[in-house]
Amino acid sequence: MDRRHINDAGLLSVAEGNHMHRLQHGFRHRAICGAVLLFAFLANCARAETGAEAWLRYAPLEKQAAQEYAALPASVVALGDSPVLDSAKGELIRGLRGMLGRTLREERNLPRESAIVLGTLSALRANSPKLFEHVELREDGFLLAKEKFHGIDCVIVTAATDRGVLYGVFALLSKIARSERISALHETQQPYARIRWVDEWDNLDGRIERGYAGPSIFFENGNVRGDLTRAGEYARLLASIGINGCAINNVNANPRVLEDSFLPQLARVADVFRPWGVQLSASVDLSSPKVIGGLDTFDPADPRVAEWWKKKVDDIYRLIPDFAGVVVKADSEGRLGPATYGRTPADAAKVIARALAPHGGIVFYRAFVYNHHLDWRDPKNDRAKAAYDNFHPLDGKFDDNVIIQIKHGPIDFQVREPVSPLFSGLEKTNEAIELQVTQEYTGQQRHLCFLPTMWKQILDFDMHAGEQPSPVKDIVSGKTFHRPLGGFVGVVNVGMDTNWLNHPLAMANLYGYGRLAWNPNLYPSTIAEEWTRLSFGNDPVAVHTIELMLLKSWYIYESYTGPLGAGTLTDILGSHYGPGVESSEQNGWGQWHRADHDGVGMDRTAATGTGYVDQYRAPVAKMYESLNTTPDELLLFFHHVPYTYVLSSGKTVIQHIYDSHYEGAEQTAYLVQLWKTLKGRLDEERYGAVLRRLEYQAGHAIVWRDAVCNWFFQISGIADRLGRVGHYPDRIEAESMQLQSYAPFDVVPRETASGGKAVECRPPAEKCSAAFRFDGAAGKYEMNVEYFDQNNGRSKFRVLVGDRVVDEWFADDHLPATKPGGDSSTRRRIVGLALRPGDDIRVEGVPDGEEHAALDYVEIHASPE
Ligand code: GCV
């Protein structure tokens, strides 16, 4: 498959659009003629796809593709006996049965005929000392090879550890699922770093902080779930992408997790993780010695506190001998920490690290320590500086089993941030990068946003921390500064939703995270293609289309939510979801963009700004200090500029803001069109589920576009050169319609409703209507009804043309909103509507609960559809 034309930087280009069209046309033609593709298509359609299997579907391969694997041995031998090796064997049997329809025979002894042999290098060599004499495998690395074993041709999956063998089996199955040739198999893979973990922000009551896919798979009602089937299935998914550790509870940790009575519950989770080589970890609250331990202090310098941690850790290891360690969030967002006693993070980490060390456990101390009561009036204050300011002075003061867990950017998982300067600020301390798989600020699994594109740029960014290039991936993996430990942590927050993350395409982010943690040199396009093949099959048109959509989606999301590095312009005081441009200003949270009447952006330069730039090594600092060398996409992160400042594109800042938001909304609509070309090529379930989300996203991108553009138009007073902002010729505002029982009200913030106003149907009214007369020419139209869908009611809407009901629906989505605004604003699209001049159009709303069937506007566009 020729993928060279996919340019994974930037928005979709016209050329890419045309190419897709040609490609789809060509393949459509061949599909009609070709029995092969038809078979693949039928095979796909026959399966009910819930998404539960994620990328481990093991769907039957079409006949011709299966031919490649006809010579695979008919039996499997595992050299050794362990739960992990059993999983490896079971997985191999399961995968081959699913994809090839063949059930491997399980042999217990050395093969007497060709077999697939699973075992560690030492187990192989015990039988055949010269085998793979020159192969060296470390920790979780593995080797897949066709080789003679005892004179018999075998397929061998080997590694230094059983876990490596399991990873090798997953890799072999992945190759087969993607129809990759294995006839000359000889491949070694070594993970880039030892630490490849995930954190889950699950609360003990079953809710998940920043989780968007249902309740916790680990906890309910204050306890570990009785049924941990899903937790076991999750561990299998994690293992398949090389993840070896998982912290299951929120970093805003409930101290109860360490209570004696709770530890056996944790042990049950460890039990279901163990067969998959995933080690359990827990987030702990530093005040635990006082809150649950009965001490009058949690001062890390107090010997009683050290003793408490030691005893607690020993108790944990008695129950969970392979416990991986703990995650600490302290002195941050209201969490208590060593600052209470004037101690440092190094003091606090040491106490726990020393308790863990004899057992081989690790402390992940999060660098996300900052003051969220910053004085916004002081132009020198800057939250971005906090991690470096707090941790750089402590470099070298942490034990070797402590890892500083650093968010990828200096603020908080915004849609675009520079790389955290702390990565190059610690030379004598272990580090891990924290990436966020759960889409807190990037569309909450309602908008498509494939994050490996962003992560790859971060991991490849050269920090100039020495004479050699020192990309972030080399620093965190310990290579640059020769650290013994380090790696990757992804915040995932899967939930009980059958498909784990809600949006069927969001699982590409979890897969991509795991793949990059294993090998950060992979290209996003490779990851996107792999994931698509594994998740949707090998139909070339589907693969190509989905890959293209994934690769463009982060740029598209950014273009309508967070221009030029200003940060995501979302409501930072609420859900972090819809637009709320002003919410970041004039408060202590420090996510400021400093937009005023004349300009926008944070001056973080050393010369005139906060001095943040100086936290980078000299070459990086030099680049960001100057307006001329700061890349446009981060301009407003580093500089405060007038709206008329001309970017390297030749556009002014303000025009860029307008254009990118219009372009982003258009491209989101184009994603819907692209997806629709896949109808019939994918299973109906996931096709429909993705289509619904993309259509919703296309509507919400318009909400974002209008909110951000209007806000900047209001504050700057500079008109859009193309006359779009503030002018909506096809739009009829609800408040200007003929209202029956509906009453106008002001929406707050005003930019989140068209014209700042909407209408609502307040009790005691039971039904309201808003009507207008259509005065356009006779023809086919598309009508868009913009209404507010809150989560505290289920209003009903009806649209009538004359007496004819043309559409009706319930506002019953589960958006993060209890009031009308940017989070709840939703678009209903009615297509192919025949209208004549003089038609009376009426929208009726029936309120429910706290949701008052609020209506913003109606738009009517001529449409041949
Ligand atoms: C778990 C952000 C999120 C919080 C999260 C915090 C963190 O502030 O909004 O929900 O808390 O980061 O990473 O600790």
pLDDT tens profile 99-126: 999 999 999 888 889 999 999 999 999 9
Strands 245-247 and 279-284: parallel
Sheet strands side by side (includes 804-810): 738-740, 768-773, 840-846, 796-801, 804-810
User: With contact defined as beta carbons under 8 Å apart, do 517 and 196 qualify?
Assistant: yes
Give yes or no for residue 295 having a pLDDT over 50.
yes
Please indicate whether residue 199, judged by its CB atom, sits closer than 6 Å to ligand 1.
Answer: no
The number of angstroms, rounded, from the C-alpha of 294 to the middle of its chain's C-alpha atoms is 39
Give yes or no for residue 556 having a pLDDT over 90.
yes
Give yes or no for residue 571 having a pLDDT over 90.
yes
- Nearest-5° Cα angle at 8, 4 to 11: 125
User: With contact defined as beta carbons under 8 Å apart, do 860 and 782 qualify?
Assistant: yes
pLDDT tens profile 820-832: 999 999 999 999 9
Please indicate whether residue 207, judged by its CB atom, sits closer than 6 Å to ligand 1.
Answer: no
Give the distance (Å) from ligand 1 centre to CA of residue 153: 53
Nearest to 55 by CA among 146, 180, 171: 171
User: With contact defined as beta carbons under 8 Å apart, do 370 and 331 qualify?
Assistant: no
Please indicate whether residue 201, judged by its CB atom, sits closer than 6 Å to ligand 1.
Answer: yes
Q: State the DSSP code for 396.
A: T
| Alpha-carbon span 225 to 229, nearest angstrom | 10
Length of the chain: 865
Nearest to 472 by CA among 490, 489, 451, 487: 487
Nearest to 239 by CA among 169, 180, 136, 177: 169
Question: Sorting pLDDT into bands at 50, 70 and 90, what band is 25?
Answer: low
Which amino acid type is present at position 47? R
Instruction: Please compute the mean of the pLDDT values over residues 751-766 and round it to a whole number.
Output: 97
Percent of the chain with pLDDT over 90: 92
Which one from 91, 140, 412, 786 is the annotated catalytic residue?
412
The number of angstroms, rounded, from the C-alpha of 557 to the middle of its chain's C-alpha atoms is 13
User: What is the token pair recorded at 179?
Assistant: 């129809």
Q: Which residue has a Cα nearest atom 12 of ligand 1?
A: 412
Give the distance (Å) from ligand 1 centre to CA of residue 333: 8
Q: Which class for 739: exposed (0-12), middle (13-18), buried (19 or more C-beta within 10 A)? A: middle
Give the distance (Å) from ligand 1 centre to CA of residue 81: 42
pLDDT of 541:
97
Task: With H, G, I as helix, E, B as strand and everything else as coil, classify residue 783.
Answer: strand
pLDDT of 27:
43
| Alpha-carbon span 581 to 587, nearest angstrom | 13
Give yes or no for residue 33 having a pLDDT over 60.
no
| Alpha-carbon span 848 to 391, nearest angstrom | 51
Q: Which of 199, 201, 439 has most ligand 1 atoms within 8 Å of its beta carbon, as the pocket-test mutant?
A: 201
Taking the CB of residue 289, how many other CB atoms lie within 10 A of it?
A: 26
Give yes or no for residue 28 having a pLDDT over 60.
no
Nearest to 417 by CA among 409, 425, 405: 409
pLDDT tens profile 70-79: 999 999 999 9
Give the distance (Å) from ligand 1 centre to CA of residue 252: 8
pLDDT of 22:
55
Nearest to 330 by CA among 352, 310, 303: 352
The number of angstroms, rounded, from the C-alpha of 590 to the middle of its chain's C-alpha atoms is 23
pTM here?
Answer: 0.96
The number of angstroms, rounded, from the C-alpha of 845 to the middle of its chain's C-alpha atoms is 36
Give yes or no for residue 18 having a pLDDT over 80.
no
| Alpha-carbon span 71 to 155, nearest angstrom | 10
Which amino acid type is present at position 740? Q
Interhelix angle 507-518/452-460, nearest 10 degrees:
20
| Alpha-carbon span 539 to 523, nearest angstrom | 21
Partner residues linked to 156 by β-bridges: 117, 145
Give the distance (Å) from ligand 1 centre to CA of residue 201: 9
pLDDT tens profile 343-375: 999 999 999 999 999 999 999 999 999 999 999
Q: How far is CA 647 from CA 561, 607, 628, 653, 656, in A?
A: 19, 21, 9, 7, 8
Instruction: Note if 333 is an active site residue.
Output: yes
pLDDT tens profile 612-649: 999 999 999 999 999 999 999 999 999 999 999 999 99
Give yes or no for residue 264 having a pLDDT over 80.
yes
Q: Which residue has a Cα nearest atom 14 of ligand 1?
A: 251
Q: How far is CA 76 from CA 118, 192, 303, 387, in A?
A: 8, 29, 55, 51
Question: Of all atoms in ligand 1, which is nearest to the CA of residue 252?
Answer: 1
Q: How many CA atoms lie within 13 A of 340 on its CB side?
A: 17
Instruction: Please compute the mean of the pLDDT values over residues 496-511 and round it to a whole number.
Output: 98
User: What is the token pair recorded at 829?
Assistant: 């699209």
pLDDT of 48:
79
Please indicate whether residue 416, judged by its CB atom, sits closer than 6 Å to ligand 1.
Answer: no
Q: How far is CA 507 from CA 540, 643, 693, 810, in A?
A: 20, 38, 14, 28
Task: With H, G, I as helix, E, B as strand and everything else as coil, classify residue 65.
Answer: helix
pLDDT tens profile 642-697: 999 999 999 999 999 999 999 999 999 999 999 999 999 999 999 999 999 999 99
Please indicate whether residue 372, judged by its CB atom, sits closer than 6 Å to ligand 1.
Answer: no
Which one from 113, 333, 596, 812 is the annotated catalytic residue?
333
Instruction: Note if 766 is an active site residue.
Output: no
Give the distance (Å) from ligand 1 centre to CA of residue 376: 20
Please indicate whether residue 209, judged by its CB atom, sits closer than 6 Å to ligand 1.
Answer: yes
User: What is the token pair recorded at 409?
Assistant: 């950017």
pLDDT of 14:
62
Which one from 440, 659, 695, 856 is the annotated catalytic residue?
440
Please indicate whether residue 856, judged by its CB atom, sits closer than 6 Å to ligand 1.
Answer: no
DSSP annotation string for 319-362? H-TT--EEEE--SSTT---GGGGT--HHHHHHHHHHHHGGGT-E
Please indicate whether residue 251, judged by its CB atom, sits closer than 6 Å to ligand 1.
Answer: yes
User: What is the token pair recorded at 6?
Assistant: 């996919």
Give yes or no for residue 710 having a pLDDT over 50.
yes
| Alpha-carbon span 264 to 261, nearest angstrom | 7
Alpha-helical regions (H) of 131-207 = 162-177
Instruction: Note if 786 is an active site residue.
Output: no
Q: Which residue has the tokens 């060709």?
A: 114
Please indicate whether residue 252, judged by its CB atom, sits closer than 6 Å to ligand 1.
Answer: yes
User: With contact defined as beta carbons under 8 Å apart, do 753 and 745 qualify?
Assistant: no
Question: Sorting pLDDT into bands at 50, 70 and 90, what band is 340?
Answer: very high
User: With contact defined as beta carbons under 8 Å apart, do 141 and 192 qualify?
Assistant: no
Give the distance (Å) from ligand 1 centre to CA of residue 863: 44
| Alpha-carbon span 201 to 184, nearest angstrom | 44
Give the distance (Å) from ligand 1 centre to CA of residue 618: 31
Q: What is the mean pLDDT of the chain?
A: 95
Q: Which class for 183: exposed (0-12), middle (13-18), buried (19 or more C-beta within 10 A)? A: exposed
pLDDT of 109:
84
The number of angstroms, rounded, from the C-alpha of 622 to the middle of its chain's C-alpha atoms is 32
Q: Which residue has a Cα nearest atom 11 of ligand 1?
A: 252
Q: Which of 198, 200, 333, 368 has most ligand 1 atoms within 8 Å of its beta carbon, as the pocket-test mutant?
A: 333
Please indicate whether residue 412, judged by its CB atom, sits closer than 6 Å to ligand 1.
Answer: yes
Give the distance (Å) from ligand 1 centre to CA of residue 760: 34
Please indicate whether residue 188, judged by its CB atom, sits closer than 6 Å to ligand 1.
Answer: no
Question: Sorting pLDDT into bands at 50, 70 and 90, what band is 416?
Answer: very high
Q: Which residue has a Cα nearest atom 13 of ligand 1?
A: 368
Nearest to 164 by CA among 277, 245, 307, 263: 277
Give yes or no for residue 787 having a pLDDT over 80.
yes
Alpha-helical regions (H) of 145-298 = 162-177, 229-240, 263-273, 288-291
Question: Of all atoms in ligand 1, which is nearest to the CA of residue 210?
Answer: 10
Q: Which residue has a Cα nearest atom 2 of ligand 1?
A: 412
